[in-house]
Chains A and B, each alone.
Chain A
Amino acid sequence: MQRPESRHAGAGVLLVGALLAPLALNLPQTSIIVTALCFGLVALGLDVLIGSTGQLSMAHGALYGVGVFTALGLGSRGAPWPMAFAAAIVLSAVVAVIVGLPSLRIRGLQVAIASLAFQLFAQQLPNTYSQVKSAGRTFERPGFLVDETHLYYFGVACTVLVLVLLNRLRSTRGGRSLLAVRDVEARAAAFGIDTGRTKLFAYGVSGAVAGLGGALFALQQASVSDLQPFILRESLLLVAVVVIGGARSAVGILFAAFLLKGLPGLLGTDGNVAFLGDVSQWLPPALALLLVVSVVLQPAGIGGVLRDLNIRLTPKGERLPPRPQPTDAALATARARMLRDVPRPLKERLPVPALLVADQVSVRYGGVTALDALNLEIRRSEIVGLIGANGAGKSTFFNAVSGLAPTTGVIRYRDRDLLLSPPSSRSARGLARTFQEMGLVRSETVRENILLAQTWMADYPMAAGLLALGGSVGTERELRRRADQALELFGLQHLAGERLGDLPYGTMRIVEIASAVASGPDLLLLDEASAGLTPDEAHALGDRFKALRDELGLTLVVIEHHVPLIAATCDYCYCLESGALIAEGTPAEVTAQPRVIESFLGRGTLQPETLRPEEVLA
């Protein structure tokens, strides 16, 4: 991964370079750079959608135009520039949200077509209705921006402000929610994320940044008659700039924008350079070819190349830090207790109140009944095993509880029906789960993923996080503290800054459990937590389950295929087959039933006594 120090150093060098640049440039050249900066700002806005949310907008040229003509229309009619800027930002954001509305209904590529249809419509507007262009009027610059160099510094200040805000977005609730939508949309609700609002938020932020770029352009140009900067070609070029620059790489994107819009002009007014010919002529198709090549060969763009280089320059052994010895005495005892391995004697079910009761719960997908009138109950501080062959309905039951499946019946959780509340509200009610296939974001660090799972606790609005308002700073500090506690509990603190996707599979599974625990649940649903683990790792996992119950007071439901693990850890066990309950009882009782063995292992392949835990685990 890229070390934060090197990133800060790089940003510092760039900023100093940007501040000194006008000394080496004449005024027309400075002006060209300002134009490139406007384009770069719009591209940064687009990256919020492409890079962080996984949505493609092909209308950012038009949104740029919305910003330009709004600022121009107000500014040229005597409105003070801050008002013109604010109006441009707000209107572009609103229009972007409208363009993004279909993303509420569908996840597919068709959402991008809505943006294309908008581009087609918007680019006709200034052609058809000439008043849009505010022709014959000019946007007078305020006194402190008359000089082109001043405007340049103003543009740099705007860009730095945008970068600071977008960086804040990344480290707060909003940014994490965007990534969850990008990578694990179907499961994001389990973290307490309302995916629809998150997407519209992304469109809004993206449009606002594009509007700022537009307002800056309007201020620079004073009046706009050439509509070329807002046509379809520019919208496609903006996508190209983001992809070539590298999604989520601000430096790469600004560089690509400079390459496309700044460099040809700087090389000479006619673009002619010795040996290279007219650069401004051949650069655009060359960049497009670079785009084709980079999509095929290097999907992460220039930013990705930089990151790969950074990884290659880091000696291999240093990439994963060594696991530190436990220093904290309390932690050492906790681990000792975890490792003590005392299987609780199998006994009668504890007579404690139920935490969750499923009453006639059914899930149907069209004609397929995945879960058929299931009745079961999970009592407080139990570890309940859910077993059954593939397709028995185990994960479907989890999906019903977490609101990811079309469910009928009643699921009473702490005496209230869960099905009456939206899926994204359930983590706040003390439900957490893991997924059979990782439900986390691999491109982010372990700590960021833990924070993602705590999204419901971040009770400030997404926009407040962006602007560091509404107590978001204090909340984030508290969440980070909690996240570090959870990492410590699972012995993962030395990996906190590692990219999740770089970790071994078994460790990723542990991180997922840690993230679920970090969200502060009462009821933890673990879907095949031991899948892909070695027998030793699986055994250690069983001890962890018990530690979670005994030390944190959690109630656990575990879906497991690993029968010894069930036998060693579970207080009670349910067995499903084809969506229906076929057995329940202590693990020993359930695994001894012929019907269960038949369902699980096939007829007559194994004697029941083979399944006795003490033998298997010996």
Chain B
Amino acid sequence: MLGEIVVGLAIGSAYSLLAVAVVLVYSGTGVLSLAMGEIGAFSLYAGLYAHDHGIFGWQPGVFVAGLLAVAGGGVLGLVVERFVMRPLVGRPALDGLVATLAVALFLALTELYLYGLDPFAAPSPVGAGTIEVGGAVLTATELVLFGLAAAVALGLYLFLTRTKFGLATRATTSDPVVARLLGVKVNRVYVFAWGVGGLLSGAAAALLAPINGSLTPFSLTTALLSALAGAVIGGLDSLGGAILGSMLVGVVTGVVGSRFDPAMSAGVVFVAVLATLMIRPRGLFGSPRAAT
């Protein structure tokens, strides 16, 4: 049981990185992004390909390949923001959702075209070491995931509440037009949301793929669905709520999935999402705005 919970929490931590990426983009730009999984997966594919086959005679190690995935995710996020999302500012929210769906589809199908359907081996960027803590065996990947999820949560919380730019971000969230009139460079907020979102997506991909055992097209988008479920349950515009919701979904997936079967755990998550949207649409910790 304890082992299953630990695995669930580790998966939940990876989901929470994706969920934070979604919440950042949602509260920064009002767009519910479905691209947050595949952005990381795409750059992880590139990193792992370089690790396996080398590029320009340079063959990075697993750790550097992971860093490449993180950096590549950030760059890809910026590219998507500049060339796809920015032209859509002011268009209906559904257009933004469809655009990110299109980006996810394009990235995943391109992965399929470039690398084929066979799963890519995804060694952990932090090695395969384990340590035992109080009866539970923790892998290095899991340990790093816990640390990273906590650091990201704390870092973003401090950033958004203690810095001027964080204030600008929150102002943009509440009303982009007024924020612009008050002198906030709204575009910078959009760039920040997509850039950091992309970095988080890369990190989630690099750490989740080894737990899943391999990397396949759409696998990170499938993980993103769990993260989205968590974000809806916790509150789409609440960082803390989204993290907690993702952890819950992760633990349910870990425990119910191994005690019963994966269909059962996915069913529990579906029912939970349905119940949240019917009973408390804003989620556990979301603001009323999250339910409009």
Report whether A101 and B274 are in contact in the complex, using a CB–CB cutoff of 8 Å: yes
Q: How far is the CA of A536 from the CA of B74 in the complex (A)?
A: 58
Chain B hits for A127, CB < 8 A: 262-263
Report whether A232 and B262 are in contact in the complex, using a CB–CB cutoff of 8 Å: no
Q: How far is the CA of A104 from the CA of B226 in the complex (A)?
A: 23
Q: How far is the CA of A247 from the CA of B226 in the complex (A)?
A: 29
Report whether B97 and A112 are in contact in the complex, using a CB–CB cutoff of 8 Å: yes
Q: How far is the CA of A112 from the CA of B224 in the complex (A)?
A: 14
Our pick among B99, B266, B292 for the contact of A295 (Cβ within 8 Å) is B99
Q: How far is the CA of A121 from the CA of B270 in the complex (A)?
A: 7
Chain B hits for A116, CB < 8 A: 225, 228-229
Q: How far is the CA of A125 from the CA of B262 in the complex (A)?
A: 9
Report whether B218 and A232 are in contact in the complex, using a CB–CB cutoff of 8 Å: yes
Report whether A288 and B106 are in contact in the complex, using a CB–CB cutoff of 8 Å: yes
Report whether A282 and B222 are in contact in the complex, using a CB–CB cutoff of 8 Å: no
Q: Which A residue sits closest to B279, measured CB to CB?
A: A105
Given contacts A106-B281, A284-B109, contact A292 B103 (CB under 8 A): yes
A492 interface contact, C-beta 8 A: no
Chain A hits for B91, CB < 8 A: 299
Report whether A58 and B263 are in contact in the complex, using a CB–CB cutoff of 8 Å: no
Q: Mark B251-292, 1 if CB is under 8 A from A, else 0.
A: 000000000011110110110011001100100000000111
Report whether B278 and A102 are in contact in the complex, using a CB–CB cutoff of 8 Å: yes
Chain B hits for A98, CB < 8 A: 274
Q: Mark A284-306, 1 if CB is under 8 A from B, else 0.
A: 11001101100110010000000
Q: How far is the CA of A549 from the CA of B106 in the complex (A)?
A: 60
Q: Which A residue sits closest to B116, measured CB to CB?
A: A281
Q: How far is the CA of A289 from the CA of B99 in the complex (A)?
A: 10
Chain A hits for B228, CB < 8 A: 113, 116-117
Our pick among A105, A110, A288 for the contact of B236 (Cβ within 8 Å) is A110
Which B155-191 residues have a C-beta within 8 angstroms of A? none
B55 interface contact, C-beta 8 A: no
- Give the size category of A's interface with B: 35 or more
A107 interface contact, C-beta 8 A: yes
A423 interface contact, C-beta 8 A: no
Report whether B225 and A232 are in contact in the complex, using a CB–CB cutoff of 8 Å: yes
Q: Which of A234-242, A382-390, A433-441 contacts B (4 or more CB under 8 A)?
A: A234-242
Task: Give the distance to chain A from B170, nearest Cβ to Cβ, in Å.
Answer: 20
Our pick among A105, A120, A239 for the contact of B278 (Cβ within 8 Å) is A105
Q: How far is the CA of A106 from the CA of B264 in the complex (A)?
A: 27
Chain B hits for A208, CB < 8 A: none
Which of B106, B228, B261 is most buried by chain A, counting CB atoms within 10 A of its CB?
B106
Q: Mark B92-108, 1 if CB is under 8 A from A, else 0.
A: 01110111011111101
B84 interface contact, C-beta 8 A: yes
Q: What secondary structure prevails in chain B residues at the interface with A? A: helix
Q: How far is the CA of A120 from the CA of B227 in the complex (A)?
A: 12
Report whether A291 and B87 are in contact in the complex, using a CB–CB cutoff of 8 Å: no
A23 interface contact, C-beta 8 A: no
A108 interface contact, C-beta 8 A: yes
Q: Mark A216-247, 1 if CB is under 8 A from B, else 0.
A: 00000000000000011100110110010000
Report whether A105 and B105 are in contact in the complex, using a CB–CB cutoff of 8 Å: no
Chain B hits for A106, CB < 8 A: 277, 281, 291-292
Report whether B263 and A124 are in contact in the complex, using a CB–CB cutoff of 8 Å: yes
Task: Give the distance to chain A from B255, nearest Cβ to Cβ, in Å.
Answer: 16
Task: Give the distance to chain A from B241, nearest Cβ to Cβ, in Å.
Answer: 13
Report whether A121 and B267 are in contact in the complex, using a CB–CB cutoff of 8 Å: yes
Chain B hits for A24, CB < 8 A: none
Report whether B101 and A58 are in contact in the complex, using a CB–CB cutoff of 8 Å: yes
Q: How far is the CA of A56 from the CA of B290 in the complex (A)?
A: 17
Task: Give the distance to chain B from A267, nearest Cβ to Cβ, in Å.
Answer: 16
Query: How many residues from B make CB contacts under 8 Å with A?
Result: 48
Our pick among A101, A102, A121, A243 for the contact of B266 (Cβ within 8 Å) is A121
A129 interface contact, C-beta 8 A: yes
A114 interface contact, C-beta 8 A: yes
Chain B hits for A108, CB < 8 A: 93, 281, 290-292
Q: How far is the CA of A129 from the CA of B262 in the complex (A)?
A: 10
Report whether B94 and A114 are in contact in the complex, using a CB–CB cutoff of 8 Å: no
Q: How far is the CA of A117 from the CA of B268 in the complex (A)?
A: 10
A327 interface contact, C-beta 8 A: no
Report whether B292 and A117 are in contact in the complex, using a CB–CB cutoff of 8 Å: no
Task: Give the distance to chain B from A49, nearest Cβ to Cβ, in Å.
Answer: 11
A119 interface contact, C-beta 8 A: yes
Chain A hits for B273, CB < 8 A: 113-114, 117
Report whether B270 and A118 are in contact in the complex, using a CB–CB cutoff of 8 Å: yes
Task: Give the distance to chain B from A65, nearest Cβ to Cβ, in Å.
Answer: 13
Q: How far is the CA of A237 from the CA of B218 in the complex (A)?
A: 12
Task: Give the distance to chain B from A128, nearest Cβ to Cβ, in Å.
Answer: 4
Given contacts A108-B93, A113-B273, A117-B269, contact A292 B84 (CB under 8 A): yes
Q: How far is the CA of A128 from the CA of B221 in the complex (A)?
A: 21
Task: Give the distance to chain B from A40, nearest Cβ to Cβ, in Å.
Answer: 18
Task: Give the distance to chain B from A82, nearest Cβ to Cβ, in Å.
Answer: 30
Which A268-284 residues have a C-beta within 8 angstroms of B? 281-282, 284
Q: Which B residue sits closest to A54, measured CB to CB?
A: B94
Report whether B278 and A109 are in contact in the complex, using a CB–CB cutoff of 8 Å: no
Which of B110, B225, B229, B263 is most buried by chain A, counting CB atoms within 10 A of its CB?
B263
Report whether A105 and B277 are in contact in the complex, using a CB–CB cutoff of 8 Å: yes
Report whether B281 and A239 are in contact in the complex, using a CB–CB cutoff of 8 Å: no
Report whether A102 and B262 are in contact in the complex, using a CB–CB cutoff of 8 Å: no
A378 interface contact, C-beta 8 A: no
Task: Give the distance to chain A from B265, nearest Cβ to Cβ, in Å.
Answer: 8
Q: Which B residue sits closest to A129, measured CB to CB?
A: B263
Report whether A102 and B263 are in contact in the complex, using a CB–CB cutoff of 8 Å: no
Q: Ordered nearest first, which 10 A-B pairs have the shortest CB separation?
A: A102-B277, A288-B106, A128-B263, A124-B263, A285-B109, A121-B266, A121-B270, A291-B102, A117-B273, A106-B281
* Contacts A/B (CB < 8 Å), 12 sampled: A108-B292, A113-B229, A114-B270, A116-B225, A120-B269, A124-B266, A127-B263, A128-B263, A232-B225, A284-B113, A285-B110, A285-B113
Q: Which residues of B contact A (CB under 8 A)?
A: 32, 84, 87-88, 91, 93-95, 97-99, 101-106, 108-110, 112-113, 217-218, 221-222, 225-226, 228-229, 232, 236, 261-264, 266-267, 269-270, 273-274, 277-278, 281, 290-292
Q: Which residues of A contact B (CB under 8 A)?
A: 54, 56, 58, 98, 101-102, 104-114, 116-121, 124-125, 127-129, 231-233, 236-237, 239-240, 243, 281-282, 284-285, 288-289, 291-292, 295-296, 299
